[in-house]
């Protein structure tokens, strides 16, 4: 279970990092590269979401998952990454609009 949790944390952290990179890159005027970083973010979030979905499917099948602080922490990382991704998309769009 710890390996699964660490996958959630690592993939979510990677996604958050790519989203923040996208903002910085867009701020410097390279919108195309920023959008590439957002795609990388989506890929990492997809990996994390897949792990989360497997946990949910197992739970639905009756295989209960012990919820501990580490799992809660991993879920927090995922939700934070998703929020940052949404904000990063808005920032990239805004920087693109203002650069025209």
76 belongs to an annotated ligand binding site: yes
Set 49, 57, 73, 77: catalytic member? 73
The DSSP-derived string for 3-49 is: HHHHHHHHHHHHHHHHHHHHHHHHHTT-HHHHHHHHHHHHHHHHHHH
Please say if 77 is a catalytic residue: no
Contact yes or no for 1/65 (Cβ under 8 A): yes
Residues involved in catalysis: 73
| Residues of the binding site for Mg(2+) | 76
| Residues of the binding site | 76
């Amino acid at each position: 279970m710890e390996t699964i949790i660490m996958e959630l944390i690592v993939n979510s952290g990677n996604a958050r990092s790519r989203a923040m990179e996208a903002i910085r890159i867009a701020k410097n005027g390279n919108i195309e590269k920023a959008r590439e970083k957002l795609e990388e973010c989506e890929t990492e979030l997809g990996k994390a979401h897949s792990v989360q979905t497997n946990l949910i499917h197992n739970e639905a099948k009756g295989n209960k998952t012990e919820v501990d602080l580490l799992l809660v922490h991993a879920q927090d990382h995922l939700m934070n990454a998703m929020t940052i991704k949404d904000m990063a998309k808005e920032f990239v769009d805004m920087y693109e609009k203002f650069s025209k």
